[in-house]
Structure 1
Amino acid sequence: MSPSAFARARLSVPTLRFRDGGGLLYSTLARLIASGAAVHRGDLVERAGLARSTVTRHLDALIEAGVVVEGGGVARAGRGRPPQLLALNPRAGLVAAADIGARDARLAIADLSQNPLATAHIPVDLAQGPKEVLGQVEASLRELHASATDDHAPLCAVAVGLPGPVDHDAGAPVRPPIMPGWDGYPVGDALAERFGCTVLVDNDVNLMALGEARSLPEDQLPLLFVKVSTGIGGGLVSADGELHRGADGAAGDIGHLPVTSGGASEVVCRCGKSGCVEAVASAAVMIRKLNAGRETAGSELRTTGDLARLVAHGDPDALRVVRAGAERIGEVVALLLHVFNPARVVLGGALAGAGDELLAGVRSVVYRQALPLATRKLVLEPSVLDQRAGWVGGTVLAVEHVLSPDGVVDLMERRQEASQATGLRPGPRWLSSQSGA
């Protein structure tokens, strides 16, 4: 399936504020249009609750800058000239997303309508350190950017997901257990200097949770995303579709919640504590257990993908260790149901897509241990986006930054500067496919 065949993830609708705030109003109007909440000028006036003259002035500036396009009549009953359809110009700028894992990275370039224009899957080794890995990511994103556009549309924002705790505001990882040499490294600032645009850095599971949540119906929120891979992580999305990061970005760091059954309390985790679910149920632990029982030299498993392939082929030893791990993960999920009360729990990572063993094991424990009130409407399923969840969430995060008050003003200035340099009006021609819509 081609990247462009995927449906757009849902954008959030901004909280409206009743004052003329420059960038705030540009952002409000652009996001109302981008989210589909307003399709013509009358809609904008009604939804914004502002004077028509105020809406017109700011909307005309967005159109002049080429951020919004207008044309094609909106179908309606009755006589009179139909209102003109408004849409965000998808090629006003581009965004990039990089979902970096322990062994690989999934990259994407998308337009402002979230259409993926180019994607890539590259190997990485976090142990090489931030400079080496980020250099690889930068080079691959530049290649994708060059291949994705022939109109030199600029990158306006880049979203990066990292497999460890992240200070989102600082754009830096915080003592990440599986990322030696990365603690405190200014990932956001380093890449922002190279790309010349804002770089948003987040935990990888947060991006997966956001992508998943915005691709599902709103009645599936709140959502808890659990990724089982080299480590175990979680992402929380609230009922209004926003990420819950917590006060210091530690929300969702579920890999270090304790479990006590099955002798888990005696197992020392790499964080220094005992009984962490990650220390007894991560894919890395499952692989070690399987390799310890193998008699043939050179047949050791190396990656989560290797384990997933054994599970998919019904290998008895692989099924045994996955079922045991699923029980421990289920204990943590059952606990979280009473803390967060999600409408949907999503299992992600290669193991979740390899078969039903992980899902069935987690379900069994959850429905046995959690109270009926927390499970009576619960949906517990694998990710609908699978390996795409991270870069879909990164694309949403980046697009919403571009349409934020600061982001949209920056975009308008970029468009105006480009038009002055080329002598061309920044606004694009209205696509013929939209005329008469």
Structure 2
Amino acid sequence: MRDVSSFNGLGSSGASELFQILRDGRPRTRSELAGQMGLARSTVTLRIESLMELGLVGFVDDAVSTGGRPSSRIALKAGSKVVLGVDIGASHLRVALTDLTGHQLREAARSMEVAIGPTAVLDAVVEMASGLLADSDRDLADLLAIGVGVPGPVEHRTGMPINPPIMPGWNRFDVPGYLQDHFHVPVLVDNDVNVMAVGERNAAWPDTGELIYVKVATGIGSGIVSNGMLQRGADGVAGDIGHIRVHNGTGVPCHCGNLDCLEAVASGPAVAAKLRALGLDAHTAEDVVRLVGSGNKDAVHAVRQAGRDVGEVLSACVSLMNPSVIVIGGSMALTGEHFIAGIREVVYSRTVPLATQHLQIVQSSSGIDAGVLGASMLAIHDAMSPQRIDDMVLGLGETIPG
């Protein structure tokens, strides 16, 4: 397995330092790079040659050139290598192949219960991922990393799920090792909501430093971004708001063993259960969305109350963290303004005005793509990290002068 706990995203020396400059995609000349790095042009040229040999950078067309000679400007070759993003949900599986900028090249999805166990689910991941590579005329040499989101707590250091409530058989299963045996690249695993927070921020809020992403579906959880960095906490369970007790509960048991957890009161299945008790045909969050869409008053009322319950917990989060954006995702967000209005009602009424004067509470713009997008970004951040670039350059058997 790969221990990623020490990765800090800081630059390093050699070719990797030059590569971090070129990651933004803007073409530069050797002279520009030499000036920016404070190095001799000959040293920069050697480092560029190493990155070119790896296929990570290359010459780009120069619009002002008329002689037909190769341009002297160098830029990232985003399509030269690929990563895989894997979104494992409670009842779905999505796999995407992306380039080094996060642009999606191909995707596959299927319905699958995570409760059938890790071997069956991960075998499906291997099958789908292998198909995407083959359909894109790619081989394993083009693949740099795999990012995976799973619907349960994850020990970040090892990538192993730890006592995940809705994932029987997954406790301490070596997810990274299982996939590495097939693909022979680093595998990064995280809680699905953390991954969604990364995906949503990258897609819609890249300049926002303080953000909370809340997923309300079969379960409830949140991903926390502070100072532009994902916050996992001491043991990787930061943001697990689904098991905070709410006052509106009526002694509803939660699968964690406690009563009146937010997840047991306001998740999609919890709202569906309340509607079934009223004689409505509702078993899943999708049924709740359907009933709200048809204008059913009982469903609208139940969804609005679920939003208030989520808002009760988030009001404490706002006071503690003072985010500028709260993004609501997951299947329950598809009920639209009814659910989000309930959240806003409580958050704005129970939090001091200074903490909410600029606060936006919005529906996810990435929708169902947030998980697979975030998983891809998890892989890209590792694949393009200074440590990985240095390792690849060293693998060429060359010595890069400093």
Aligned length: 387
Q: Where does residue 420 of structure 1 map in the other structure? A: none
- Which amino acid in 2 is paired with 1:342? P
Could you tell me whether the CA contact under 8 Å between 1:222 and 1:343 is conserved in 2?
yes
Cα offsets for 1:57-85 (capped at 9, x unmatched): 32221123321112333779xxxx99833
Could you tell me whether the CA contact under 8 Å between 2:59 and 2:70 is conserved in 1?
no
CA distance in 1, matches of 2:212, 2:195: 12
Q: Where does residue 238 of structure 2 map in the other structure? A: 251
Q: Where does residue 64 of structure 1 map in the other structure? A: 53
> Per the alignment, do residues 75 and 326 of structure 1 end up closer, same or farther by CA in structure 2, a change over 3 Å counting?
farther
TM-score normalised over the length of structure 1: 0.82
> Per the alignment, do residues 222 and 154 of structure 1 end up closer, same or farther by CA in structure 2, a change over 3 Å counting?
same
> Per the alignment, do residues 207 and 263 of structure 1 end up closer, same or farther by CA in structure 2, a change over 3 Å counting?
closer
CA distance in 1, matches of 2:105, 2:62: 28
Deviation at 1:38, TM superposition (A): 6.7
Q: Where does residue 210 of structure 2 map in the other structure? A: 222
Answer yes or no: is 1:88 the counterpart of 2:70: no
Cα offsets for 1:117-159 (capped at 9, x unmatched): 1112211111211111111121111111211235775322111
Structure 2: segments with no counterpart, 5+ residues = 1-7, 398-402
Q: Where does residue 430 of structure 1 map in the other structure? A: none
Answer yes or no: is 1:134 the counterpart of 2:109: no
Cα offsets for 1:275-334 (capped at 9, x unmatched): 321121111211111223227xxxx43432222222222222221211111111001111
Could you tell me whether the CA contact under 8 Å between 2:27 and 2:73 is conserved in 1?
no
Overall identity of the aligned pairs, in % = 40
CA distance in 2, matches of 1:272, 1:394: 30
Could you tell me whether the CA contact under 8 Å between 1:88 and 1:113 is conserved in 2?
no
1:292 to 262, 277, 281: 277
Cα offsets for 1:211-260 (capped at 9, x unmatched): 111123444321100000000010011223x2111111011111112222
- Which amino acid in 2 is paired with 1:143? G
Answer yes or no: is 1:202 the counterpart of 2:182: no
For the residue of structure 2 that corresponds to 1:140, the secondary structure is helix
> Per the alignment, do residues 375 and 313 of structure 1 end up closer, same or farther by CA in structure 2, a change over 3 Å counting?
same
CA distance in 1, matches of 2:26, 2:235: 33
Q: Where does residue 162 of structure 2 map in the other structure? A: 174
Answer yes or no: is 1:273 the counterpart of 2:258: yes
> Per the alignment, do residues 53 and 372 of structure 1 end up closer, same or farther by CA in structure 2, a change over 3 Å counting?
farther
1:374 to 345, 355, 358: 355
Answer yes or no: is 1:359 the counterpart of 2:346: no
Deviation at 1:411, TM superposition (A): 4.7
For the residue of structure 1 that corresponds to 2:204, the secondary structure is coil
Q: Where does residue 315 of structure 1 map in the other structure? A: 296
CA distance in 1, matches of 2:64, 2:253: 65
> Per the alignment, do residues 135 and 167 of structure 1 end up closer, same or farther by CA in structure 2, a change over 3 Å counting?
same
Cα offsets for 1:20-55 (capped at 9, x unmatched): x4xxx3333223212246734344345445554443
CA distance in 1, matches of 2:300, 2:86: 32
TM-score normalised over the length of structure 2: 0.88
CA distance in 2, matches of 1:40, 1:396: 28
Structure 1: segments with no counterpart, 5+ residues = 1-12, 418-437
- Which amino acid in 1 is paired with 2:291? L
> Per the alignment, do residues 263 and 63 of structure 1 end up closer, same or farther by CA in structure 2, a change over 3 Å counting?
closer
Q: Where does residue 319 of structure 2 map in the other structure? A: 338
- Which amino acid in 1 is paired with 2:176? G
> Per the alignment, do residues 366 and 58 of structure 1 end up closer, same or farther by CA in structure 2, a change over 3 Å counting?
same
Could you tell me whether the CA contact under 8 Å between 2:214 and 2:220 is conserved in 1?
yes
- Alignment RMSD: 2.6
- Which amino acid in 2 is paired with 1:26? A
Q: Where does residue 99 of structure 2 map in the other structure? A: 111
Could you tell me whether the CA contact under 8 Å between 1:41 and 1:83 is conserved in 2?
no
For the residue of structure 1 that corresponds to 2:167, the secondary structure is coil
CA distance in 2, matches of 1:46, 1:252: 43
